[in-house]
Amino acid sequence: MRNLILSAALVTASLFGMTAQAADVPLEAGKTYVELANPVPVSVPGKIEVVELFWYGCPHCYAFEPTINPWVEKLPKDVNFKRIPAMFGGPWDAHGQLFLTLEAMGVEHKVHNAVFEAIQKQGKRLTKPEDMADFVATQGVDKDKFLATFNSFAIKGQIEAAKKLAVAYGVQGVPTMIVNGKYRFDLGTTGGPEATLNVADQLIAKERAAK
């Protein structure tokens, strides 16, 4: 697990001590970001794709939410943003399946923050389907429909696809971002939440100029 989660010291520096650098982050391949040796195809051809890999059980992903969400809302129309759950076994897989189920039901945008709050602030584990169903029911989601979708063949296929993408991206920790299937970076390589989005903006501009 050591390689799957940013160290506490690094994250503390990233979140609180280095955000002032966000306005002027140098783009340095191999340092600020990694260029993938084998680019991964994007899900919507013709658009610049930005992916965030996350885990509901990750406090650093939760702390990133207030910074990334307003940024996502302001992305231009030629950019396609998507979240992909990182699934490295155990609760990672359970929470990833929860996210994919909510997304498939079209309610992720309404329930996503509540799930984060439940796990990070209320101490809920939400690793068992029945517990998940009971919780999302408090958010207006039909319990039976949730369970049917959660156990569906379609969701199982999405789980496998998400796991393959994480491997293709070379993801070792979360939150991690990928721009256009080519560039990987995170809070540690960039220097913090705002710096991470600054790097994303620059790489988006780089890909736009290359069209």
Amino acid identity of 42? V
pTM (predicted TM-score): 0.89
Query: CATH 3.40.30.10: which residues of the chain?
Result: 1-86+171-211, 87-167
- Mind listing the pLDDT tens digit for each residue in 52-79? 999 999 999 999 999 999 999 999 999 9
pLDDT above 60: residue 29 = yes
Helix (H, G, I), strand (E, B) or coil at 81: strand
Gap between the Cα atoms of 25 and 182, Å rounded: 19
- Quick one: what percent of the chain has pLDDT higher than 70? 89
The dihedrals phi and psi of 185, each to the nearest 5 degrees, come to -160, 165
87-167 homologous superfamily: Glutaredoxin (3.40.30.10)
Residue 41: asked if its preceding bond is cis (omega within 30°), the reply is no
What does DSSP say about strands 176-179 and 48-54: parallel, antiparallel, or unpaired?
antiparallel
1-86+171-211 homologous superfamily: Glutaredoxin (3.40.30.10)
Structure tokens at 210: 């290359």
Residue 109: pLDDT band (50, 70, 90) is: very high
